Amino acid sequence: MSGQTNKIQDYLIATEPYYLPLGNEVELFMAACHEQLPLMLKGPTGCGKTRFVEYMAHRLQRPLVTVSCHEDLFAADLVGRYLLTGDETVWMDGPLTLAVRHGGICYLDEVVEARKDTTVVIHPLADDRRLLPIDKRGEILKAHPDFLLVISYNPGYQSVLKDLKQSTRQRFVALEFTYPLPAEESSIVTRESGIDVAIAERLVNLAGKIRHIREQGLAEGASTRLLIYAAQLIRQGIPPLAACRAAITQPLTDDSGLQETLEEIITDMFE
Amino acid sequence: MSDHADTSLDPADYLTLLEPLFLLEPEFSDQLFRDLLAKSPLPALAEVRILVENSLFWMRDYPELGKAVATGFLQLVGIVSKNWQDRYADTVAIGKGITPVIARSVAEKFISIVRTQNESLLQLAREIVVTIGPWGPYPLGQVMNALLSLLEAAEEYAAQAYLQMILKALEQQISERELIRFAPLLSRGILFWQPEKRNWQVVQLLRVVGKGYGLAHAFFRGMEKGLAHLSADDLPLFIAKALHLADEKRQSRFLSLESMLGLDACRELQTMVPLSAVVGSLSRYLYARSGRPVTVRSLEHLPATSRFMPGPCTDGFRIYLPVEMDRGKSVAENQLMYRMLAGLELACWEAGSFDFDWQRFMREYRPMTMAGDDGIGEIPGAGSADDLERFLAGFSLPWLAEELLNLIEQGRIIRFLKSCYPGFVKQVRSLLDKELLRLVAVSGSWSFWQLLFAFLVLDQEPKIGGVPHEPWVEALREVRRGFNEEITETSPVEAAASLVSKVYPSLAAILLLPQPGAEKQPVYPFGRRLRFDLVAKASQEQEARAVQLKAVLEDAGLDFFKADLKRLLKEHDLTLTPEMLKNCLMTLGGERGIGGKKLRGQLDDLDLHQCFPAGQDSGAFSSIDEKVPTFWYDEWSIQLQDYLRDHVKLLEHQRVGADSSFYPEVLVDHGGLVRRIRRNFELLRPEGLQILRHWPEGDSFDYDALIEYAINRRMRTTPDERLYRKRLKVDRDVAVFLLIDVSGSTKNKLPDSSKTILGVEKEAVVLFCEALERVGDSFALAGFSGSGRLAAEFFQVKDFTESLNGEVKSRIGALRPEKNTRMGPAVRHATSKLAAYPAKVKLLVILSDGLPNDQDYSQEYAIEDCRAAIRESRSKFVHVHAITVNAVNSPHLDRLYGDVHHTVIADVKDLPDKLPRIYRALTKQ
């Protein structure tokens, strides 16, 4: 057990991550945390959900255990399994159990990608019971008081066959994330990439134009993350046009018509 | 020309001459007499004598021929010379040499030919008569009728070429039956082409027919698909390549652009770009830049005005561009020109060029010179309709002031653009410079306005050495000084107007000396200029409402500029509600430093409803056929914030399938796409029973995994616990209802195509059905329209229990444009059908070409009712997704459907490809 306690400490975030609050999300998170309420972070990709969780984890000085969900994720991958060490059989807590047992934050990223029979594992944790049944050990683990469950969910491009069930959704307090306002987004891009403010503002302006286009294939627009990538490439001496093409146009869409429009806007904005 | 009329003619003389005819055909002769008298000027007696002689020659033995000849001469006297009248008579004689019936046909059909007085045309036509005449009057008649249609369109050159083509076809032993179809095909095809290009295109058609008359049809198809965009130099090259191919089949596929070779050749040669090819991408670019939908139209749609030559411009709502662009050397260059021109017009909106406000001008830029003896007249009072007109009317020569404003404002816009879009400015200056130099080269010298354009817009030093007139140098220097001192990147349009009033006196004195160059209609690159006149005309409604609104605000002690109010009204497409307006005014107030609680309080106390159009309901409307199933639905009222119970009557029609060929034709036309769709959707189909290997639990062991397990144990490494195979029943239980907007707007044709919006939508529906058949999802189809709340219409095409049989396929073809778009009841009705059908996942897909709009059902009211209907659907576990075609996204669509639950397809031509893909993305597992 002490080995696992040491292991949970590995998940502590040593350095404060940079995060610029955009609204009252910090206060809401703190309030939910104090009330032991699970949280759902909703918003498009690359708008700061994961960074926010890291920031709050550091602020609360709690370990953060992140699980990227996918359709091959089984309950055992979250809860844990027996492993063979030499001739011994040793139980190894999964990431969820680790957080539940030792009072960390468990962050399930893109929870809708996981299979529904896996997602249902979190139900008893996400209501007032705060329990995690570990069937293989015959154990019902009561969550540590500091345990917090956080999930992320992007409603933008889900298939209708993969939506989050109401029975899951209604167990969470939801925080909605969106792209920051231009002035704030420029600060973020400047800070994260080290690029000068003028270029950051231009990139943010570009993103604003791209986010106007809502055709098929460009449903989400350019994320703050992509802007930071572009800025980082520019800082490395890549010409802005090439940097934006590589970091923004090509990742966003394969549709030649949309690519053409993005290129036109980029060409307009950078000499 | 014929002998001149004798003005002292006595009608009785005509009677004398007509007497022999009268004895044979009294009634005809009477009518002829009246027709002669109706001519102006009256024909000379000598001409009438010739008419009578020729007519009599035939009348005795062939009365009908005689009458036809008389009628023919009647249309020729006074128009053509005697020489040509004789030719006409000779041609009739040639026809008589075949049969009298042919001669009569000649007498009737050759009138127009003789009137052209074109010797070559006449000879060719005679040859046709001699060759085809023996086949009989019908084939000759078909050929001649086609010829006449060309002559009626004043296409004499094309008519001549047409006859040559007929002769070539005859040389190639064309059969009578083929000729009867061939002749009208030629004339119709030629007349479909643009008049200014017809002559040289016809030459190429002649070449093609010379090779083989059977290739003409392929050529016409190719012209429709893209050969029409080739230039006069490039089309012959394309034809040469085509005719060089080995056999007629290959040549035909090449010419009709059905072969890859043909398509590639056309693409390589093509430099001209039609607006229709780029309007979708331009709209998207403009929307991205501005954040609002921008309509792009061709110059043909520009309201007619004699003030200025048509050129790229905007009226504040739409952007007008040339119908084709061929100035560049390549397709890319011409596409760039379109984008640059569109971007420049959009910049006028972005920079506020049309937001001139008289009050703001007088307060902040009080002009130095006002009424007096320096050439500027009295400033008219506040009665003038438009603030800018009021400003320009204050000058003794308003046209001069407007021209100065046009250029100074364009210079200001470029300064504004440089701060936001430096890349764009660099490109556009290069383009405008090139074009300006071309204009100057053509005219031979610089005009004053062109020099000023070069300085203000292109930021070039005035070419002092190239200035043709010394006094202009000082004028240019003065403008330059003022521009550099007073115009910055943030200056408003009033600053440009202020500069105009400062430089006007001295410029008027210099420019109005009698010398060329300071012309009233300057020639600018691409013919582009700011059209303040068009903007004023197009925004009259906004102007009136802004005046009213300003008065209401002033009464409440609130000071807002009229131009700002007008801009708010324009930006919101007149869908502003009183509440939205108050919020916008708060924002506006904040920008001007007025604001806060005091302003909020003042606005809250205001009743702005008087500034908005009258409310929605205006009574019931006529009902239609009651012999169809009817359903009553509630409607959400935004005013009442409650439902109007049983407010809408929906009639469910069953369209009778009439067009059984539509469905199979679409499958043939989109052959490649159909194959791809079938393959992709087969892959989506669940295989019934899926076997999962390396699974943590299951029905049996996975022996490969067991072996690995044993090995890992021996190696003392952690073995994987996934040792089983599991049989999984993979279920896909999806029901989808596709609801299609068949309102009247869907009958609009696509540019450069004979297809309508609904036509393309129906094609997409066919491909969609093929996709759904492959994946095995249950589906239903219906169209919807409406004509008032008592006549919402629902056209059932297929319900869930029907198979995709021949009858259903015919019904798809039978869908046609109806009336308006009452979407709310259609959504409710489709939802009720979906809710009643047992399926795990239910999806409603709405296909439309715009926002809902019907009688008493538009703007906010319609949007809110549709939102309510969609909410109701979602509450019944029906997922709703909308696809809007032939539009760019707007905030209204986001509000209507939810910003993640709809897709916009700017160009409806992409719909057949994208609809199945959207569905696939929506329902993938």
Helices (H), strands (E): how many in chain A?
A: 13, 9
Confidence band for B900, pLDDT divided at 50, 70 and 90: low
Q: Tell me which chain A residue has its CA closest to the CA of residue B886.
A: A215
Contact B288 A265 (CB under 8 A): yes
Q: What is the pTM of this model?
A: 0.71
Contact B666, B809 (CB under 8 A): no
A210: contact with B, CB 8 A cutoff: yes
Q: Which residues in A lie closer than 8 A to residue B350 (C-beta atoms)?
A: none
CB atoms within 10 A of CB B819: 17
Chain A residues close to B904, C-beta within 8 Å: 214-216
Please, what's the b/e burial string for B420-454 (b: 16 or more CB within 10 A of its CB; e: otherwise)?
Answer: bbebbbebbbebbbebbeebbeeeeebbbbbbbbb
Residues of B in contact with A84 (CB under 8 A): 713, 716-719
Minimal C-alpha gap between B435 and chain A (Å): 20
Closest CA relative to residue B289, chosen from A232, A209, A98, A135: A209
The answer to whether the CB atoms of B921 and A159 lie below 8 A apart is: yes
Contact indicator for B163, B148 with CB cutoff of 8 Å = no
Q: Which of A214, A259, A267 to mutate to test the interface with B (most CBs of B within 10 A)?
A: A214
- Tokens representing B655 are 């369209």
Using alpha carbons, list the distances in angstroms from residue B861 to B109, B830, B854.
61, 21, 11
B 272-301 residues with CB < 8 A to A: 280-281, 284-285, 287-291
> Measured between CB atoms, which of B287, B420, B910 is closest to A213?
B287
| pLDDT, tens digit, 9 for 90 and up, residues B849-895 | 888 888 888 878 888 899 889 988 888 888 888 888 866 666 777 77
Contact A215 B288 (CB under 8 A): no
Answer whether B421 sits within 8 Å of A214, measured CB to CB.
no
Note whether B93 contacts A: Cβ–Cβ < 8 A: no
**Interval B275-325: pLDDT, tens:** 988 888 898 899 889 888 788 888 988 877 767 788 999 998 899 999 899
CB contact under 8 A, B924 and A210: no
* Residue of chain B whose alpha carbon sits nearest to that of A220: B900
Say whether residue B918 is in contact with chain A using an 8 A CB cutoff.
Answer: yes
Chain B contact for A142, CB < 8 A?
no
> Which helix (H) or strand (E) element contains residue B684?
helix B671-684
Q: How many angstroms separate the CA atoms of B277 and B298, rounded? A: 12
> Is A268 close to B421, i.e. CB distance below 8 A?
yes
Among A218, A264, A266, A267, most B C-beta atoms within 10 A, so best to mutate, is A264
Q: What is the pLDDT of residue B595?
A: 64
- Is B905 within 8 Å of A215 when comparing Cβ atoms? yes
What's the order of all strands across the beta sheet hosting B318-321?
A: B295-298, B318-321, B313-314
Residues 95-154 of B with CB under 8 A from A: none
Considering only the beta carbons, identify the residue of A160, A213, A215 that sits closest to B922.
Answer: A160
Residue B347: band (very low, low, confident or very high) from pLDDT cuts 50, 70, 90: very high
pLDDT for residue A258: 85
Above 60 in pLDDT, residue B7?
A: no
Distance from CA of B303 to the nearest CA of A (A): 30
Q: How far is CA B79 from CA B43, B48, B65, B84, B552, in A?
A: 10, 13, 22, 10, 68
Contact (CB, 8 A) for B782 and B773: no
Per-residue pLDDT tens digits for B700-745: 898 888 888 888 888 777 788 888 888 776 667 788 999 999 888 8
Here the tokens at position B888 are: 């760019």
pLDDT computed for residue A141 by the predictor: 93
pLDDT at position B618: 32
Residue A80's DSSP bridge partners are: A93
A 64-83: CB under 8 A from B: 74, 76, 81-83
pLDDT digits (tens, 9 = 90+) for B124-180: 999 999 999 999 999 999 999 999 999 999 899 999 999 999 999 999 999 999 999
**Residue of chain A whose Cα is closest to the Cα of B917:** A216
Chain B positions in Cβ-Cβ contact with residue A76 (cut-off 8 Å): 696, 721
**Of the partner residues A76, A84, A214, the one whose CB lies closest to the CB of residue B719:** A84
Apex CA B163: angle with CA B157 and CA B168, to 5°?
Answer: 125
DSSP annotation string for B453-514: HHHHTT-----GGG-SSHHHHHHHHHHHHHHHHH--TT--HHHHHHHHHHHHHHHHHHHTSS
**Least confident range of B168-177, B422-431, B467-476:** B467-476
Is B716 in Cβ contact with A86 (below 8 Å)?
yes
- State the pLDDT at residue A5: 58
- For residue B752, what pLDDT is reported? 60
| Closest B-chain CA to A92 | B718
Tell me which residue in A81, A86, A209 faces B288 most closely, judged by beta carbons: A209
Closest residue, chain A, to B921 (C-alpha): A159
**Which residue type sits at A97?**
T
Of residues B826 and B638, more confidence is placed in: B826
> Is the pLDDT reported for residue B236 higher than 70?
yes
Q: Which of A215, A219, A267 sits opposite B900 (nearest CB)?
A: A219
Residues of B in contact with A219 (CB under 8 A): 900, 903
Q: Determine the residue among B716, B843, B900 to mutate to test chain A binding: the one whose Cβ has the most chain A Cβ atoms within 10 Å.
A: B900
pLDDT classification of B619: cutoffs 50, 70, 90: very low
Mean pLDDT for all residues in chain B: 84
pLDDT band, residue B616 (cuts 50/70/90): very low
Which tens digits make up the pLDDT trace of B640-650? 777 888 889 99
B423 neighbourhood in chain A, CB within 8 Å: 266-271
Is the CB of B892 inside 8 Å of chain A's CB atoms?
no
Report the alpha-carbon distance of residue B840 to residue B833 in Å, rounded.
14
Average pLDDT over residues B643-664: 79
Q: With cut-offs at 50, 70 and 90, classify the pLDDT of residue B495.
A: very high
Across the interface, of A82, A216, A257, the residue whose CB is closest to B918 is A216
Token pair 């690159």 in the structure block, residue: B525
Is the predicted pLDDT of residue B839 greater than 80, yes or no? yes
Residue A86, chain B, CB below 8 Å: the answer is: yes
The pLDDT confidence band at residue B367, using thresholds 50, 70 and 90, is low
Interacting residues of B126 by C-beta distance below 8 A, sequence separation 6+: B91, B94
pLDDT at position B517: 47
CB proximity under 8 Å: B 172-231 to A: none
Instruction: Please tell me the predicted confidence (pLDDT) of residue A62.
Output: 95
| Contact between B714 and B697 (Cβ < 8 Å) | no
Is there a contact between B923 and A161 if contact means CB atoms under 8 Å apart? yes
B583 contacts: CB under 8 Å, gap ≥ 6: none
Neighboring chain A residues of B922 at a CB cutoff of 8 Å: 159-160
**Cross-chain CB nearest to A261 (options B285, B881, B924):** B285
Distance from CA of B852 to the nearest CA of A (A): 19
Please return the burial class of B60, using the count of CB atoms within 10 Å of its CB with bins 0-12, 13-18 and 19+.
exposed
Q: Which of residues 160-199 of A touch B (CB under 8 A)?
A: 160-163
Confidence check: pLDDT of B378 > 50: no
pLDDT of residue B415: 95
Q: How confident is the model at residue B659 (pLDDT cuts 50, 70, 90)?
A: low
For B914, which of A74, A82, A216 is closest by C-beta distance? A216
Nearest C-alpha in B relative to A155: B900
> For position B711, what pLDDT does the model report?
83
Q: pLDDT above 70 covers what percent of chain B? A: 89
Residue B722 to residue B696: CA distance in whole angstroms: 4
Q: Measuring CA to CA, how many Å separate A112 from each of A43, A127, B483, B697?
A: 13, 18, 60, 23
Task: Catalogue the E-assigned strands of chain A.
Answer: 39-42, 64-68, 80-85, 88-93, 105-109, 131-134, 139-142, 148-153, 173-176
Residues B327 and B337: beta-carbon distance below 8 Å: yes
Per-residue pLDDT of chain A (271 residues; tens, 9 = 90+): 455 556 888 899 999 999 999 899 999 999 999 999 999 999 888 889 999 999 999 999 999 999 999 888 888 889 988 877 777 778 889 999 999 999 999 999 988 888 777 888 899 999 889 999 998 888 899 999 999 999 998 876 556 666 777 888 899 999 999 889 999 999 999 999 999 999 999 999 999 999 887 655 566 789 999 999 999 999 999 999 999 999 999 999 888 888 888 999 999 999 7
Helix, strand, coil content of chain B in percent (nearest 5): 60, 10, 30
Would you call B815 an interface residue with chain A, using a CB distance cutoff of 8 Å? no
A159 touches chain B (CB under 8 A): yes
CB contact (8 A) between residue B843 and residue A160? yes
Q: In this model, does residue B610 exceed pLDDT 90? A: no
Choose between B110 and B804: higher pLDDT. Answer: B110
